[in-house]
Structures are given as structure tokens and as C-alpha cells.
Amino acid sequence: MFERPRGTNDWGPEDMARRRQVERAFVELAESFGFGEVSTPTFEPLELFTAKSGPGIVEELYAFKDRGGRDIALRPEFTGSILRFYLSDLRGLPKPVKLYSTGPVFRYEEPQKGRYREFYQLNAEIIGGSPLPSDAEVLALAVGTMRAIGLKQVRARIGHIGMLRTFLPFGPLDQAKLLHALDKRNFPALEAELARLGRPELAGPMRKVVGLTGDASILEEAREILGGAGKEAVGYLHELSEMLYHYGLPASDYRFDMGVVRGLDYYTGMVFEIDSPNLGAEKQVGGGGAYDLAQVFGGEPVPQTGFALGLDRLVMAAEAEGTLAPARPLDAYVIPIGDHMRGRAVDIVSTLRAAGLRADIDLVSRGPSKNLDYANAMHARYAVLVGEREIASGSVAVRDMKTGVQRGVALQTLVAALRGP
Ligand code: HAM
């Protein structure tokens, strides 16, 4: 027997019904926001991800050489691929370009509950919109998706990585190292690095700033600690907050958190993360923010912002809050009484299917009572018994599987009789 690889999942029909329900909620909302769907390959040239994504992702890549000796990596996220696609083919589209994607991504992580090596993301990007309205739009889509699946216990935290960058006036590599130390709250590493760079005095304020979390009043505290470096970002976050109000996101629905540093290196401005407190250690259901990959990939500067939600974690959060609708049941299970009635039974099941009902038919020539047991086990709403005598008079026997009540129904009225409430 084979075992599936570590950190991967098999999803059965009930799981998939829940996953599709959540995915559909995102897709419908994204389309209602005017985003268009794109699809990019599951594997890409390795450099696409090593160029800027940073050790948070690069150390976790599934990378290999293909038979042509090319360095390839399974995509660990969508953003790199979307920006590659934008630069090669979509640059000419009217701006802003609003794109969404869903699908599997791959990271070689230590698996645990909610953390997998293959997982599924719901991703959205806006390229070429003005920063403030676009940041507000992606935040509204991210939080709106969670509301659409009924989640109540979500916590969005909004920060600003541009502010931290302004306060750390070093080259990109040194800045990345410092930000990773901050992301991991590894203060000894932060201090050592700043000492090496000859600016040990920056460690104290940095440490204070990433500890700031709460309502808009913390923005003033950040401005005091960072001085000029914080001014622009603080003004920006105040304005963003006003805009979010108009999206139906009052300030009570999120908090500011200057400690949102993100594990990826490409962020440049507003950043956010969303947690579900029900999920234990792996509670982050989504994250994103404003970034710059277009220039890193050789394109012209253009504002970029987006986010990804982890579908696996979203479904777990929805299960914990009991918000998902039960899967739509089978409307009818059609039972030919004797193999000679199979042709007529197929006619009937085909009519039901064509009418948009979920209808199944016996495929193993069971007797009627075994077939009723099966219909029961499949949670069919009705069993339709196709017997010779009934058919001769233009009808079938319909059994309500919940009440056990059975009655004759004329074939012309069968679809109407089986239609759900
Ligand atoms: P990320 O924070 O790396 O961001 O991933 C987004 C979400 O994917 C996480 O919040 C989490 O729910 C889920 N996730 C991450 N790793 C795992 C895992 N090992 N198992 C299960 N779920 C996981 C990005 O990927 C950025 N590309 C988002 C973005 C788009 N930023 C701008 N545009």
C-alpha cells in the first residue's frame, strides 16, 4: 500500500463540499468587486521566487532540476507568478488590473495541524491602482470573504512595513535581515545586526514600535517613537481607516498592529494579517499588503497590493464556528424493480437530471429493500421506485425517505413533486 506524502491531504466528498462552498464565496465576492480570474503554472523558474520573496519562503521551496537541467520550483504562492504574467502579457490592459486566482501552493514546512506542504490559497492582486483606495479594496475583499462564509471571530491586524523600512536606512539585504529578526521577535539577533551596522541605538525604538497594538491612538505613539520616519505612514493609516469605514469596516473590526512584519520580503507599505482565534498555533487565515515585485522583475514602477487567504484554515475556522451550510443532498434515488425496468428507470433519472435535480440510479441491481437502505445511507430525500405495474399506468412510487410515506406520482408531475423546498 502507498501512503500519501507528508504534509499533503486527501479530501473526501464532504470535505470537498465544504471547501468548494468557501472557495465559491471568495470567487463570487471577488467577481462582484470586479476582479477577473487568471491561472498560472504550478511550477515556475526557481529565480522567480528567490528574487525577492525572502527566506520565509525560499527555504521552504520545493525546488528541483528538470530533465533539461533547468532550476524549477513548485509555486509557494501566487504573487510572483501573477506579477510575471502581468509584466509579460497584461501590462497593456487598462489600469488598475484586478486579478484573482485559487489553487494549490507548495511549501516544504514542518507539517502540523493547519500547516501543510501542499495547501490551497485564495489570492487577489490589484496592480496599477492608487495605493490608498486599492489597499482599502483588498482589505474589504479579504474581510468580506470571511463574513460571506459566516465567520464572526476574525481579527484583522493592520500595520505598515514602509514605516519600519524608513526607520532602517540600510540596503535591501541588511533591511531584510533586520525585518526577519523583527518578524520572529528575535531581539538579540536584531540588536546584534544593528550593532554590526553601527546603529545600535535603533534597537530600542524598533522593539517598542513592533510592540504597539491597539486602536488608532497607538499610531500617535508610533509617530512619537519614530519621529519623521513615522509621519507619512501614520497619516496614511488614518486615511485608510476612514476609507474602511465606508466599506462597512468600522475601527472596532480591526486593530492597528505595528508588529505585522510578514514573512515575505516584497512588502513596502500597508500590511495586514487576519487571525481566527479558534485555530490554535496556525491561526493566521490570511495576510497581504502593498508590495513591489514589478520593479524587482524589471518592470516600471506601479502600485501593487493584494492578499492570500489559506483555504484549509478558513474551512477549519468555519467548522469551528459551525457556519457552513450542510451539503445539498441527493434529491432522488431511482430504483428499477427488476432489471427489465432499467431502461425506463434510466429515462426517468435522465429527465430528473436534465431538470437540475440531483438524481442517482441503482447500478448494482440490488433488490428494492437493499436499495432503500442504500438511498437512506446516501441521505437521498426521495426514492423513486420504477415498477412494471405503475409504469403501465404512467406513474412511479415515490417514497419520502424521512417519513417513510410512499405514494404514487404521475410521471408528468414527478419533477415538480421532487423539487426541494
Ligand atoms: P502568506 O501569509 O505567506 O502570504 O500566506 C497566506 C495564507 O496562506 C496564510 O495566512 C495562511 O492562511 C496560508 N498558509 C501559509 N502557509 C500555509 C501552510 N503551510 N499550510 C496551510 N496554510 C498556509 C502570501 O502567500 C502572499 N503571497 C499574500 C499576498 C498576495 N501578498 C500580496 N499579494
C-beta 102 within 6 A of ligand 1: no
The residue whose grid cell reads 507548495 is 106
pLDDT score at 55 = 61
Instruction: Write the CA distances from 304 to 97, 125, 135, 287, 309, integer angstroms.
Output: 10, 7, 9, 14, 17
pLDDT recorded at residue 59 = 81
> Would you state the cell numbers that stand for residue 144, as one nine-digit string?
468580506
What's the confidence (pLDDT) of residue 229? 82
Distance from Cα 273 to the centre of ligand 1, integer Å: 10
pLDDT tens sequence across 279-323: 988 999 999 999 999 999 999 999 999 999 999 999 999 999 999
Tally the residues of the chain: 421
Q: Ligand 1 in contact with 291 (CB < 6 A)?
A: yes
The residue nearest atom 11 of ligand 1, judged by CA position, is 310
* Cα-based distances in Å from 125 to 31, 38, 211, 263: 13, 11, 29, 18
Looking at the CA of residue 309, tell me the nearest atom of ligand 1: 7
| pLDDT band with cut points at 50, 70 and 90 for residue 227 | confident
Instruction: Give the side-chain half-sphere CA count within 13 A for 73.
Output: 25
Q: Tell me how far apart the alpha carbons of residues 207 and 111 are, in angstroms, rounded to a whole number.
A: 30
Ligand 1 close to Cβ of residue 109 (< 6 A):
yes
pLDDT of residue 53: 67
What gap in Å lies between CA 324 and CA 17, rounded to an integer?
Answer: 10
The pLDDT tens digits of the residues spanning 61-84 come to 999 999 999 999 999 999 999 999
Grid cell for residue 233 = 505612514
| Strand ranges, E, within 83-169 | 97-106, 118-127, 155-160
Residue with the smallest CA separation from ligand 1 atom 8 is: 310
The C-alpha angle 336, 337, 339, rounded to 5 degrees, equals: 70
- 161-174 pLDDT tens trace: 999 999 999 988 89
Residue 337, pLDDT above cutoff 90: yes
Contact assessment for residue 292 and residue 174, using Cβ atoms and an 8 Å cutoff: no
Looking at the predicted structure, is the pLDDT value of residue 87 above 70? Answer: yes
Buried b (16+ CB within 10 A) or exposed e, 251-286: eeebbbbbbbbbbbbbbbbbbbbbbbebbeebbbbb
Q: How confident is residue 51, by pLDDT bands cut at 50, 70 and 90? A: confident
pLDDT at 349: 98
Residue nearest to atom 18 of ligand 1 (CA): 115
Q: What is the pLDDT of residues 96-126, one digit of tens each?
A: 999 999 999 999 999 999 999 999 999 999 9
Report pLDDT for 262.
Answer: 86
The CA distances from residue 287 to 64, 95, 121, 235, in Å, are 28, 24, 11, 22
99 bridge partner residues: 36, 125
Residue 291's Cβ-side half-sphere holds a number of Cα atoms within 13 Å equal to 29
What pLDDT score was predicted for residue 172?
85
pLDDT at res. 327:
86
Q: Atom of ligand 1 at shortest distance to CA of 285? A: 12
Query: pLDDT at position 52, please?
Result: 77
Cell of 398: 415515490
